[in-house]
Amino acid sequence: MSTNPDQAQRPESQRSQRVFVGITGASGHAYARGLLIALAGAGLKIDLAVTSAGAKVLDHEQDVVVEPDGCIPLERLEAWLGKGAAAAIRMWGTGEIGAPPASGTALGASVILCPCSMGTMARVAAGFSSNLVERAADVAIKEKRRLIVVPRETPVSEIHLENMLRLSQLGATLLPASPGFYHNPKTIDDLVAHLVSKVLDAAGIDTKASIRWAGLDGESPEPPPEPGTEPVPYPEGGRP
Ligand SMILES: Cc1cc2nc3c(=O)[nH]c(=O)nc-3n(C[C@H](O)[C@H](O)[C@H](O)COP(=O)(O)O)c2cc1C
């Protein structure tokens, strides 16, 4: 454990630029894919864990099969995200509560739950760390690091609203997976890219691929993607 008293004061740029991404059993795994590609394209290292329910939804929505231990083998990550993004990922089983992201001593820039189910959100709001995804979020709260939650549910109950409020009061950014249409999206990838850009902003990550609104009379707010951040096409025929 570091005993350096200056550690907490160090600017974020000097800290480890490792980001933890937790994928849960909410719908919207295209967002997770876009986020992982964008984070890797921005040069960040990623710790990734998928909840058990997340594994089922990932298979259902993205045709990505997660192993029983909660991990996605490298070749499957490469087929899903492209080689560059896959190489940036350190994969953890969600039961691996001894992994570095489970400890506050492992410095990380941000924890991002994308998409975040109402179940995971409730457990994080209650401090109920039953798996690595929830524990990483708990660590972010207690260490006062960035926690970005991308909840996906509709309609929402008062329980959901109360949990969102609780997390917001604890310093988390609540960034619902509710796509905007003011940027005139033409494809699902456009919708995904817009939400991913918002998540990157919340994480303090500025890339040339970030989408900036140029005003109603402005030119297209979407610059061409930075090399390495373009969406990777799905392989033809069959799952990765
Ligand atoms: C196809 C599918 C889509 C789902 N979509 C959502 C959703 O959008 N939001 C949500 O809160 N739960 C959704 N669920 C239910 C969660 O997966 C379920 O509550 C699960 O227990 C959450 O576990 P986790 O929080 O550990 O990932 C979905 C389930 C399935 C099978």
Q: Are 143 and 109 in contact (CB under 8 A)?
A: no
Read off the pTM.
0.88
HSE-CB for 148 with a 13 A CA cutoff = 26
3-state secondary structure of 49: strand
Q: Is 60 in the pocket of ligand 1 (CB under 6 A)?
A: yes
Say what percent of the chain tops pLDDT 70: 83
- What pLDDT score does 62 carry? 98
Q: Is 57 in the pocket of ligand 1 (CB under 6 A)?
A: yes
Judged against a pLDDT cut of 70, whether residue 226 lies above it is answered with no
Of the listed ranges 6-15, 37-46, 178-187, 195-204, the least confidently predicted one is 6-15
- What pLDDT score does 220 carry? 55
Pairing of strands 45-50, 146-151: unpaired
Query: What are 5's two structure tokens?
Result: 């008293």
pLDDT tens digit string along 27-59? Answer: 999 999 999 999 999 999 999 999 999 999 999
Q: Is 121 left (phi over 0), alpha (psi -120 to 50) or beta?
A: alpha
- What pLDDT score does 229 carry? 58
- What pLDDT score does 109 carry? 81
- What pLDDT score does 10 carry? 45
Query: What radius of gyration, in Å, describes the C-alpha atoms of the chain?
Result: 17
Residue listed under structure tokens 């984070």? 39
Of 3.30.70.2190, 3.40.50.720, 3.30.420.280, 3.40.50.1950, the CATH number of 16-202 is 3.40.50.1950
Q: Is 173 in the pocket of ligand 1 (CB under 6 A)?
A: no
Cα–Cα distance for residue pair 110/124, rounded to 1 Å: 15
Q: Is 62 in the pocket of ligand 1 (CB under 6 A)?
A: no
Q: Is 54 in the pocket of ligand 1 (CB under 6 A)?
A: yes
List strands edge to edge, sheet with 146-151. 89-92, 45-50, 18-23, 110-116, 146-151, 173-174
CA distances from 105 to 2, 37, 93, 147 (A): 8, 27, 20, 16
Distance 24 CA to ligand 1 centre (A): 7
Query: What are 139's two structure tokens?
Result: 């660590």
pLDDT tens digit string along 145-164? Answer: 999 999 999 999 999 999 99
Ligand 1 pocket test: pick from 56, 57, 94 the residue with the most ligand atoms within 8 Å of its Cβ: 57
